[in-house]
Amino acid sequence: MSNSHHEKRISLYKKAARQAKILRKQIEFIIGVTKTGLDIIDSEFNIRYIDPEWAKIYGDFRHKKCFEYFMDRTDVCPGCGVKQALETKNIVITQEKLEKEGNRDIQVTTIPFQGENGEWLVAEINVDITQRKQIEEALRKSEAQQKAILNNVPDMAWLKDTEGRYIAANEPFSIASAFDSKAIIGKTDYDIWPKELADKFRADDNKVIASGRRLSVEEQFVDKQGNAHWLETIKTPIFNGNGKIIGTTGIAHDITERKKQEEQLFIYRTHLETLVRERTSNLEKEINERKIAEQEKEGLNKELMKNNIRLKQLSLRDSHTGLYNHRFLADVIEAEFQRAKRYAYPLSVIMLDLDYFKSINDVYGHQFGDLVLKQFSDHLKKAVRNYDIVIRYGGEEFLIISPVIDRQSSISFAQRILDNINLSDFGNNKHTVKLKLSISVATFPEDAVNKGIDLVELADKLINSVKESGGNKVYSSLDVKDQKQLVPVEEVTDVAYLKEKVNKLTKRANQSLIEAIFAFAKTIEVKDHYTGEHVERTVGYAVDIARALNLSDNEIEHIRQASMLHDLGKIGISEKILYKKSKLTTKEFSEIRRHPQIGVDIIRPIHFLHPVIPFILYHHERWDGKGYPYGLKEEAIPLGARIVSVADVYQALISDRPYRKAYTKKKALEIIKEESGVLFDPAIVNIFFEVLHKEN
């Protein structure tokens, strides 16, 4: 053989070796990723070879008998796949439990082959199927759980496969379909329902399977007993562990009664619309009749002028808000009351009065106040039902006539309106304000009245009780301790009458004065927007602490007023200091420390506010005596000032300030706790934490 031929053979051999090495690395990589192992066993059951990746995971068991490693035995296993493959010279697939290496399931494929010397060997391909077995077991448990859930659902509920065959159904479904829950398994809708209904059900299932999303429908349905129902049905796809849709589940809720109520309300709304048209037509007829009569007496031109005035007086709508006006109330309230008596419906009158609205007009002007009234009216129109009647009763007083709604439902409805209004902003790009509402609820037949107008008068009296309690609440006759004050007294002595009159005049005078003071305080928000928002939240925390301490109503009211006015003195502080983002100088800090004294000086001339002066003056004193303006210590600081101090600092910590971002509530509470016994009264801090815990 020539040298060139020999070199060529060597080159081919090296190339084949390189390719074999590359192929072997690829096989080893695939085996490692897929958790598949290869080993070779001879006819004496000796393990000749095991691939390295499999050995890394499950151990190197070369030079051992296969039954020693797999089953920890001393002899060939019963049903041994290696033995069968050697005897039959065919591929054998078995499954073994690999006890020795962590209780794993291994699927073994045994392939017989002849070696180069004619010896019969067996190649075993091992696949770890432990995870697959665990998934199969989890699916079996999941199916059992779904069936258990079905049996606890009060509505009709079922499971189907993708072919529309029922897998499970609960007792309500069995009653409606007249099929036993076991007998229904394997059936389709065509085995149970009429074809038209089955076609619809099958179409809905196909939509769910195709889209992979839930489907919600309202549908009419007649059960096997012949009873008609309206159902609200929700159908949802069922996915397996690989994200594949394997069926659908459904729940059907009976909404027949709700549909009947909606139908009754539609009839009632139609009646109401007819009444409005009739009232409008009668008014127009009255106007036309009077117009003709007066034209005959005094002439056409003079009558036209009078008629224009009359048309404005008889207008059914308030020109500013677009709501019905007082004239319409007089016509509609008695008709609604008689209708409620005739058909045994409840009838509610909800009266709403804007608290301290005078302060908005005083601070921002009447044009801004008119804008707020219009926006408030729009809120009301969106909040009520279609067949409720909203009326502008007076300047800032409104009335809602709500048919077919009892006292408790009316109170809940009124509270929702109050919460919505409290959370909303009113105004324009330049100024925004928050509104407070006094709301009263009078309801027939719960409140014993004989006429529709009696409901309005009762609501009006209840409004006064709400105002006297501080406003921004919802009252019904249940909230008034002395029911007699709602009923007119026919015989009273002159002295009793005069006392009652003086008390009312005093309360009215005080309320007007408070509105003026709060209007003045509101101007702080123009200078310092933080203060305007901060005060309202501080009031809430301070009042909650006072109530938790079981203070009297009078003491709680003083604390409420003090927390509202505690920053009133900032009206005298320069805006440069209020807006400054960097640290205050000594001179600037001395200036801002004057605001408690400034606030006290403002309200000192008002006699009935004298009880709140100490709370305002000392709310920056510290428990350790290092506060200002006088360095009072511990119990020497008035209780009200200690309460306002905790509420004030907590709200300041959780608010954005010009010189820093707001702390989280968690961090703010940590700071309050650290300063207990230093800045704050420890007892007040403990009560404050209890209040927050109850709120959470």
Number of structural domains found in the chain: 5
pLDDT of residue 533: 54
- Answer yes or no: do 560 and 437 share one domain: no
pLDDT higher than threshold 80 for residue 606:
no
- Answer yes or no: do 299 and 418 share one domain: no
Question: For residue 199, which amino acid is it?
Answer: D
CATH number of the domain within which 678 lies: 1.10.3210.10
Starting at the edge strand found earlier in the chain, the sheet holding 36-42 runs: 47-50, 36-42, 120-128, 104-114, 92-98
pLDDT tens per residue, range 227-240:
888 888 889 888 87
DSSP 482-549: -GGGGS--S---HHHHHHHHHHHHHHHHHHHHHHHHHHHHHHHHHH-HHHHHHHHHHHHHHHHHHHHT
The residue among 437, 455, 488 that closes a domain is 488
Please give the sequence-ordered ranges of beta strands (E in DSSP) within 118-177, or none if there are none: 120-128, 156-161, 166-169
| Helix or strand holding residue 236 (H, E) | strand 228-239
pLDDT tens per residue, range 248-281:
888 888 888 877 877 777 787 777 777 778 777 7
Q: What are the distances in angstroms from CA 90 to CA 44, 81, 110?
A: 18, 10, 8
- Answer yes or no: do 516 and 588 share one domain: yes
Name the residue with higher pLDDT: 463 or 605: 463
- Answer yes or no: do 120 and 159 share one domain: no
Average pLDDT over residues 503-519: 55
pLDDT higher than threshold 70 for residue 507:
no
- Answer yes or no: do 280 and 208 share one domain: no
Nearest-angstrom CA–CA distance, 674 and 677: 8
- Answer yes or no: do 553 and 474 share one domain: no
Name the residue with higher pLDDT: 366 or 517: 366
pLDDT of residue 123: 84
Q: Is residue 503 part of a domain?
A: no
pLDDT higher than threshold 80 for residue 578:
no
- Answer yes or no: do 294 and 150 share one domain: no
Nearest-angstrom CA–CA distance, 384 and 399: 11
At residue 348, what are phi and psi to the nearest 5 degrees? -120, 145
Average pLDDT over residues 594-619: 84
Nearest-angstrom CA–CA distance, 151 and 143: 13
Q: What confidence tier does 530 reach under pLDDT thresholds 50, 70, 90?
A: very low
Q: What confidence tier does 29 reach under pLDDT thresholds 50, 70, 90?
A: very low
Q: Is residue 133 part of a domain?
A: no
Name the residue with higher pLDDT: 163 or 536: 163
Tell me which residue range forms the domain holding 460. Answer: 326-488
For residue 491, the number of C-alpha atoms closer than 13 Å in the C-beta half-sphere is 0
pLDDT tens per residue, range 114-167:
877 778 888 887 777 665 565 456 445 555 555 665 666 678 888 888 888 888
Q: Is residue 478 part of a domain?
A: yes
pLDDT of residue 97: 55
pLDDT higher than threshold 80 for residue 419:
yes
pLDDT of residue 312: 47
> Is the distance from CB of 224 to CB of 211 less than 8 angstroms?
no
Average pLDDT over residues 477-500: 58
> Is the distance from CB of 642 to CB of 633 less than 8 angstroms?
no
Q: Which of 257-266, 349-358, 496-505, 649-658 has the highest mean predicted lDDT (pLDDT)? A: 349-358
Average pLDDT over residues 214-224: 81
Average pLDDT over residues 358-382: 86
- Across the chain, mean pLDDT equals 78
The DSSP 8-state label assigned to residue 247 in this structure reads E
Longest dimension (CA), the chain: 148
What ranges in 326-428 are assigned the alpha helix state H? 326-343, 357-364, 366-383, 407-423
pLDDT of residue 353: 93
- Answer yes or no: do 110 and 202 share one domain: no
pLDDT of residue 459: 92
Q: Is residue 9 part of a domain?
A: no
- Answer yes or no: do 240 and 286 share one domain: no
Name the residue with higher pLDDT: 616 or 59: 616
Q: What tokens does 538 get?
A: 């501080």
Q: Is residue 460 part of a domain?
A: yes
- Answer yes or no: do 658 and 534 share one domain: yes
pTM reported for the whole predicted model: 0.37
Nearest-angstrom CA–CA distance, 645 and 619: 5
Question: For residue 614, which amino acid is it?
Answer: P
CATH number of the domain within which 245 lies: 3.30.450.20
Residue among 550, 562, 539, 533 at smallest CA distance from 655? 533
- Answer yes or no: do 267 and 226 share one domain: no
> Is the distance from CB of 318 to CB of 325 less than 8 angstroms?
yes
Q: Is residue 16 part of a domain?
A: no
Q: Is residue 10 part of a domain?
A: no
pLDDT of residue 101: 47
pLDDT of residue 308: 52
Q: What are the distances in angstroms from CA 694 to CA 240, 508, 591?
A: 43, 36, 39
Question: Strand pairing partners for 657?
Answer: 660
Name the residue with higher pLDDT: 623 or 318: 623
Q: What confidence tier does 343 reach under pLDDT thresholds 50, 70, 90?
A: confident
> Is the distance from CB of 653 to CB of 662 less than 8 angstroms?
yes
pLDDT higher than threshold 50 for residue 531:
no
Average pLDDT over residues 511-521: 56
Nearest-angstrom CA–CA distance, 406 and 444: 8
Question: Strand pairing partners for 120?
Answer: 114
The mean-pLDDT minimum among 213-222, 355-364, 478-487 falls in: 478-487
pLDDT higher than threshold 50 for residue 27:
no
Name the residue with higher pLDDT: 483 or 87: 87
pLDDT higher than threshold 60 for residue 524:
no
pLDDT of residue 71: 64
The mean-pLDDT minimum among 39-53, 293-307, 571-585, 596-610 falls in: 293-307
pLDDT tens per residue, range 39-90:
888 888 888 888 777 777 667 777 788 777 666 677 888 778 888 888 888 8
> Is the distance from CB of 170 to CB of 250 less than 8 angstroms?
no
pLDDT higher than threshold 90 for residue 439:
yes
pLDDT of residue 299: 59
- Answer yes or no: do 246 and 264 share one domain: no
pLDDT of residue 361: 77
Q: Is residue 247 part of a domain?
A: yes
